[in-house]
Structure 1
């Protein structure tokens, strides 16, 4: 609300927007005092903590770390820390299915080139893992995750080491590079077929070589990002395992009904196939859909 005072009737609620727009890189603290009652004798104080950053390389598309928020936001502490935005929440993932999330690395340098390298453990994979980040450019980073068993991952750590580099050649002559870029060559095949009049060739795909560069000692940094995920399998319950139809005369139709329930935590994909004999299998069209929990 625009007015600094308001009347709140029984059962009503209202939301307030608090905007933080720092003008420099520093920690800032504030306090909102709310007076209540006819005589304003009751007071509530709300602590405000923010931290302005001027990172030369920013990570966009990450979420607040709820564990860090819970740990750092206790008003019982003398110092309240700002909550970092360094978390990727995969949410519910089916067993055996690969899940993906993306975020963006952006360089705010005007002339410097940064080399980045990600370090993390299985089952998480980061693409590209190694690469160069040009000034005023961005790269989309993909995090892939797959587990064959139900499990929980909470704040799985990934580190990104960043170094400033200098190319041996002029920058305009060096192409952008990361480990996704490939070179395709064709080599003589070891297979010999006397009937072929032309020599056979095999395709060879290799990662493009990293451009020659020199590591600089200035502006080294390490960033941390956390991944969380819950892997679960679908669970199906059926009201019956056997359907017995009453005697049915030719061209008469009887219908039976039964119920299936997905008692798991994730959507369950299924399909039906009635198999009486080989001919019937080809005649029946499978039916597939998702059963939501």
Structure 2
């Protein structure tokens, strides 16, 4: 019978070589694959506990009928090579007529997620064993048990129990925030995923993204209404693909809210994940809004592992929401003696209360305006300036603003807005030095006086702002003092590379200034390296 014609024996399967095996494995979804130079047949993407079958064609091109014995045997006698209930072949013996063929079927049933191997042998019946093997069909069979699996890419935070954590900002009632939930299929099998959002108060909801295809998704969260679907969302994630959601927290009640998103993967009982959600709603008359620092605000997605470790060690789960405070200005790396400005808005949400605010005076941090009045329903922009003449590291430094509830002596609608930044420009007469000269004017800037008022309640509300900054001298280290190019041909370019090391604790900003007026020397920083490159371009000019 035929033992050398792979195209005939494996006519129902793909055939390749080890050189392009990796590429084909990335594209094949199921079935089998024969690798010629390895003499190996591979079962592809078989689910644990499921049975996969492959047929191999045994052809008799002779003039007489032949009996063929077919077996699958382990690669060794060691326990790890056991193939009982894993590999089976049918039939174990076949009679093939002249110029005819038959199929041997090998079934593969992986028990767990591991690699399995066996040897397939088809030999003529009646021949001595040594001669039968030399004339027989022998090749290796390999397969791996797989389970569909999905990993959580975002959120990156985890609570003290190791569960992924969506940590929302502390929000004023009526406001909302969304955080991304990103899942990825890192396996080789398509994963059907069920998503269940559990939230008794109905403050969390799941929104789909146009980049992801869903079987269905319920975006409205009504916990007390009988669900029309079995799950909040259902979808299939192909190998290597990602699925994206927006998880929204609606601040509707005062206090800390919790919810859970439960992920379950079909055909994988071990792949169940619970994603915890924590949000807090509050209701204050005075809030800080539109905070614009020099560094992008740190979202819960960008908190470093070290910072999160501190949260876990210093606080319990009840205080985790403090890490997501929105009232935080980050100046980042700053240079000594330089001024840096950031801005925010202070808003009075009350429709009846008049508020007087006063920020503390500090040698490093200054507010403008530093004090002022907030009429009902009004807001005021504040600029905070950070400047230090000595190295200093501010990490989440809390600054408390003093708030007092006041009452004017006149009706509030007759009292103008006021803060210590308001000035009035006047032109006053300059006394004449000599009789008969013209009167001149002089510009005078006067600070507007604070309108008369009485304090009804001091410490009306606690208002805090966190500030972070790292102030220090910039320093660097560079061993190269002289740049000496080798001899360079005309119209050729020579490159000289050297390291500039930032040895300080703040970001180093630098620029190159060349005194070469011919512009024959230029500086560049390659994309793949962290050191500058000096280029010399040699030219000849005729005069």
TM-score, normalised to structure 1, is 0.73
Determine if the alignment matches structure 1 residue 225 to structure 2 residue 465: yes
Distance 1:257 1:69, change over 3 A: closer
**Higher mean displacement: 52-61 or 127-136:** 52-61
CA displacement 1:100-139 (0-9 Å, x = unmatched): 1111111112232211111253211111110011222211
Distance 1:37 1:95, change over 3 A: farther
CA apart distance, 1:39: 4.0
Question: Contact between 1:93 and 1:266, CA under 8 Å: does it hold in 2?
Answer: no
Q: Distance in 2 between matches of 1:123 and 1:257?
A: 45
Q: Distance in 1 between matches of 2:246 and 2:284?
A: 26
In the TM superposition, 1:16-27 aligns within 5 A as 16-27=245-256
Which structure's CA Rg is the greater one?
2
**Higher mean displacement: 141-150 or 168-177:** 141-150
Determine if the alignment matches structure 1 residue 268 to structure 2 residue 507: no
Question: Contact between 1:243 and 1:256, CA under 8 Å: does it hold in 2?
Answer: no
What is the match of residue 99 of structure 1? Answer: 340
Question: Contact between 2:406 and 2:453, CA under 8 Å: does it hold in 1?
Answer: yes
Query: Which of residues 342, 350, 372 in structure 2 aligns to 1:109?
Result: 350
CA apart distance, 1:149: 4.3
TM-align CA RMSD: 4.2
**Higher mean displacement: 16-25 or 61-70:** 61-70
Distance 1:78 1:89, change over 3 A: closer
Greater relative contact order, per chain length (Cα 8 Å cut-off, separation 6+): 1
Specify every segment of 5 or more residues in structure 1 that has no aligned partner in the other structure, as ranges. 247-254, 275-282, 284-290
Count of matched residue pairs: 273
Question: Contact between 1:164 and 1:220, CA under 8 Å: does it hold in 2?
Answer: yes
CA apart distance, 1:48: 1.4
What is the match of residue 15 of structure 1? Answer: 244
Q: Distance in 1 between matches of 2:495 and 2:430?
A: 60
Question: Contact between 2:286 and 2:463, CA under 8 Å: does it hold in 1?
Answer: no
CA apart distance, 1:185: 4.8
Q: Distance in 2 between matches of 1:200 and 1:259?
A: 66
Query: Which of residues 146, 151, 163 in structure 1 aligns to 2:404?
Result: 163
Specify every segment of 5 or more residues in structure 2 that has no aligned partner in the other structure, as ranges. 1-207, 209-213, 217-232, 292-296, 488-492, 518-524, 531-543
Q: Distance in 2 between matches of 1:218 and 1:145?
A: 28
Distance 1:135 1:270, change over 3 A: farther
Distance 1:114 1:64, change over 3 A: farther
Query: Which of residues 363, 368, 377 in structure 2 aligns to 1:122?
Result: 363
TM-score, normalised to structure 2, is 0.42
Instruction: Look up the SS of the partner of 1:5 in the other structure.
Output: strand
Question: Contact between 1:235 and 1:263, CA under 8 Å: does it hold in 2?
Answer: yes
Distance 1:155 1:266, change over 3 A: same
Instruction: Look up the SS of the partner of 1:79 in the other structure.
Output: helix
Question: Contact between 2:403 and 2:458, CA under 8 Å: does it hold in 1?
Answer: no
Q: Distance in 2 between matches of 1:69 and 1:206?
A: 50
